[in-house]
Structure 1
């Protein structure tokens, strides 16, 4: 059941700009609409319809931040909304109109959802650009578990993951996260993130997949775990939105190079698939 729901989420994420319905997703996996909807709700705690609607809003918010060359009307239309319907649906979802959200998102700072009293200020485009390298990354075959919840729980979830799959942590294995949501936009308890460990193709477990390689913008971060949010937001909101690149996939990758759990300190590469 978990693997079916995970694959259906992948399908929904890839197809957000299509005319998705509960039936069309169930049909894709050869399940009855009723049976699939019941399985999905049991696994995620959310109906398929609500999940699709939420992801459309969250992804459109990311587009408002990154795609300055597209109008609000065009972005709403991309996700199947008329101008008036998009504005009202977006405001209901975020408590701000699309225009207000876009203006706030481009203000050079962001409220930190993990520390409500804290406002993070971004660096300049040039500062980020100096530290970003464009690289060709290989395909990665990984063992993974999908987390739907708060990014604040990632450390705890990683420790559980490490304990559960300790025998697969071989020399040279990489720990990485594949993240789909912007925590400054998404509801805190509904962010989608895959905790991954690179493994050999011969790994006998079912929860394995290939993360496609290709061209990536790679930003090396070294510092406190508490400051990762600001670094990620700055790279996306400032560098990516002003660069000549667009995201190739609807996810980013965090590849860990060093982790000091006791000191909450990491060295990691933030990797954005670009075209």
Structure 2
């Protein structure tokens, strides 16, 4: 079964890579090295939904991210980008999927409904992806400079992180620190898979050298200290970075003779979904070292 999982994972990668193009089932069956007569049944049996439904949900996932985090893009443009001919058909499809209109989601997203839709699918995708192990040559040692940051502290279920991100984005816009001008970091205190939801901690940050006035968003000043770090570049959905992080601790650290420093793992977001395709998003993972 593992062989078929790998083949279907390759087809999923191809759908994600060609999301803006037409759905070509014949080409996908070739990617999976499978007869087109059986490909769609195998896909549904392994993934749990049809090829067409998977692509539709991925397009709506991108649309939802644009609605929530890219307020400068119109609802109509987002609908066209998701493959709908007009705003009405996009609104109907979005409401069927999440129980909200696109404009309603933009104003007050129901993240609980969102996670009910996507968490099981992302978990299934993660299980299908082959664990090829960490390429030790891809880990580099770097001296991270002391970096002053503006921080919004998220405390509580990981499923509520998007709401915290929205608040932080609003603060960044008001403060004039967009990603092209100010590096974006996350400080990861806890593993969401092993930490009770109420105890989960994560800091959402951006580089900021100036003073931070008291604000309603709860953004405060902090410093990421200077020091040596093991750095690993992750490409693809941030949800799948955990496998790389686990391998960094499990495989690379024991053979490296390095010791972790008393500061949490943190990441720098280099490019963002939905600004780039999800498989093209890049993140640097920093493991602080003594």
Compute the TM-score of the two structures, normalised by the length of structure 1. 0.51
Aligned counterpart for 2:122 among listed residues 188, 191, 212? 191
Aligned counterpart for 1:35 among listed residues 18, 35, 38? 38
Structure 1 residue 78 corresponds to structure 2 residue 7: no
Determine the structure 1 residue equivalent to 2:94: 90
Structure 1 residue 227 corresponds to structure 2 residue 224: no
CA deviation map 1:34-83 (0-9, x unaligned) = 22212211211211111111221222111111221111111111122111
Tell me how large the CA RMSD over aligned residues is. Answer: 4.2
1:183 aligns to what SS in structure 2? helix
Structure 1 residue 103 corresponds to structure 2 residue 107: yes
2-structure distance, mates of 1:258, 1:187: 22
2-structure distance, mates of 1:24, 1:267: 43
2-structure distance, mates of 1:2, 1:254: 32
Shift in alpha-carbon separation, 1:258–1:87, aligned structure 2, 3 A: closer
Aligned counterpart for 1:274 among listed residues 264, 271, 281? 271
Structure richer in strand, relative to its length: 1
Determine the structure 1 residue equivalent to 2:11: 8
Structure 1 residues 1-275: aligned runs within 5 Å:
1-83=4-86, 84-105=88-109, 112=112, 183=115, 186-192=117-123, 194=126, 199-201=133-135, 226-235=156-165, 237-240=166-169, 242=173, 244-245=178-179, 261=194, 269=266, 272-274=269-271
1:57 aligns to what SS in structure 2? helix
Q: What's the offset of the Cα at 1:194?
A: 3.3
CA deviation map 1:218-271 (0-9, x unaligned) = 9999887x5333335412x2334746338xxxxxx9996665958775676465
CA deviation map 1:5-29 (0-9, x unaligned) = 1122222222222222433422444
Shift in alpha-carbon separation, 1:271–1:22, aligned structure 2, 3 A: farther
- Consecutive unaligned residues in structure 2, runs of 5 or more: 140-148, 203-265, 273-290
2-structure distance, mates of 1:94, 1:232: 15
Larger mean Cα displacement after TM superposition, 27-36 or 70-79: 27-36
Q: For the Cα contact (< 8 Å) 1:222–1:267, is it kept in 2?
A: yes
CA deviation map 1:70-129 (0-9, x unaligned) = 111111111221113212211221222111111113xxxx6656xxxxxxxxxxxxxxxx
2-structure distance, mates of 1:31, 1:53: 22
Count of matched residue pairs = 182
- Consecutive unaligned residues in structure 1, runs of 5 or more: 114-181, 203-209, 212-217, 247-252
Q: For the Cα contact (< 8 Å) 2:95–2:101, is it kept in 1?
A: yes
The higher radius of gyration belongs to 2
